[in-house]
Amino acid sequence: MTDIAMRQINSNGIQLRIAEAGTGPLVLLIHGWPESWYSWRHQLTALAAAGYHAVAPDMRGYGGSSAPSEPEAYRIDHLAKDVVGIIDHFAEPSATLIGHDWGSMVVWYTALLHPSRINGVMGMSVPYGGRAKQPPLDSMRAAMGDNFFYILYHNEAGGVAEAEYDSDPRGILSRLYASPDSPRAAAKIIDPKRSAGGWIDRLGEVTEQPDWLKVKDLDYFVNEFQRSGFRGGVNYYRNFNTNWEITQDLDPVLRMPCAFVSGSQDVVIQGADEPTLRAMMTPVMEDLREITLIADKGHWIQQEAPEATNVAITQFLKGL
């Protein structure tokens, strides 16, 4: 960690705190929800050692970066310009993008919106399959009905989601940052209806800290959210339909080299294997390269399996 430097930069009219290490071709590491630059702590040093300039920002709404309060400030076109602004800051013609969770959606769409600035893109956990046939939130509401679903919870009026998380940052983070096999206490809410309550009590308390997340690591994340609050990150979810609308005329095909990494047990991919994922992504990727599924690992892949993740990243980078 001593080789990682922290500083503030201007990007797209806001302040972003970045962590960086190394010199060489520029690689941007874009985190998801509810995360931080710190999610990439293992990758920053590894990529620096491999001969790259690795940069991990706190995305807008997180940590030490600007956090506008209005949801529309978190539209995908604004997020993409934040990323391109980092490339501009370093006066580079282009960069390689790597994103996890919400960061995957950011890097896929940054590559679509600004293709001349991106020489390669790797997503983690959230694959890209092109444009949905109807507004995403409409589909979710139709599928879930009166049942609880966290994305719909994030879209409820009055800021109920961030109010719950702000009241107990350690409670939500410690329950989310877990391995597929982490032992848990029984959930306090088992009624699937939204009316039964919020999210924290639906997630059983983790009774044994996962080996990839030390207490000091969890403390760092908790301290960041105690300082910044959760509203910025939750605001990303409030733009699903808006993002769908504003990208309707966008060519959905990625034409630069692409790759994908996930834990095989990540709930996001719902058990999909490599052929299934390749069939999903090939129609919208001209140059789909490696799909890496890391056995028995879950959603927080770059932290759960840092060495295997670093191998997948460096292999992709060396092939560009």
Residue 123 and residue 101: Cα distance in Å, rounded?
A: 8
End residue of a domain, out of 196, 215, 237:
237
Q: Which residues are catalytic?
A: 101, 299
Taking all residues of the chain, what is their mean pLDDT, rounded to a whole number? 97
The pLDDT assigned to 59 comes to 98
Residue 1's pLDDT band, with cuts at 50, 70 and 90, is: low
Asked whether residue 89 falls in the same domain as residue 208, the answer is no
Residue 2 has pLDDT above 70, yes or no: no
Whether residue 110 lies inside any domain: the answer is yes
Host domain of residue 184: 136-237
Token output for 145: 């009905």
Is residue 142 domain-shared with residue 181, that is, in the same domain? Answer: yes
* DSSP bridge pairs for 291: 260
Locus of tokens 């030490």: 64
- CB-based contact 41:216 (threshold 8 Å): no
Domain shared by 258 and 111, yes or no: yes
Which band of pLDDT confidence, cut at 50, 70 and 90, is reported for residue 4?
A: very high
Domain identity same for 93 and 208:
no
Contact 101, 29 (CB under 8 A): no
* pLDDT tens, residue by residue, 52-62: 999 999 999 99
DSSP 190-218: ---BGGG--SGGGSPPBSS--TTS-HHHH
Residues 283 and 178 in one domain: no
Same domain, 32 and 142: no
Judge if 36 and 91 occupy the same domain: yes
What's residue 172's pLDDT? 98
Domain count across the chain: 2
Could you give the residue ranges of the DSSP H alpha helices within the chain? 41-49, 76-89, 102-113, 136-144, 150-154, 160-167, 169-176, 215-228, 231-237, 240-246, 274-281, 301-304, 306-318
Do 259 and 121 sit in the same domain of this protein? yes
pLDDT, one tens digit per residue, over 283-298 is 999 999 999 999 999 9
Is the same domain home to 87 and 120? yes
Residue that finishes a domain, picked among 216, 237, 258: 237
> If pLDDT is split at 50, 70 and 90, which confidence band does 168 have?
very high
63-117 pLDDT per residue, tens: 999 999 999 999 999 999 999 999 999 999 999 999 999 999 999 999 999 999 9
> Is there a single domain that holds both residue 166 and residue 117?
no
Domain ends where: 177, 211, 237?
A: 237
Question: Could you tell me if 119 and 78 lie in one domain?
Answer: yes
Predicted pLDDT of residue 100: 98
233 assigned to some structural domain: yes
Domain CATH for 79:
3.40.50.1820
Please give the structure tokens belonging to residue 300: 């927080």
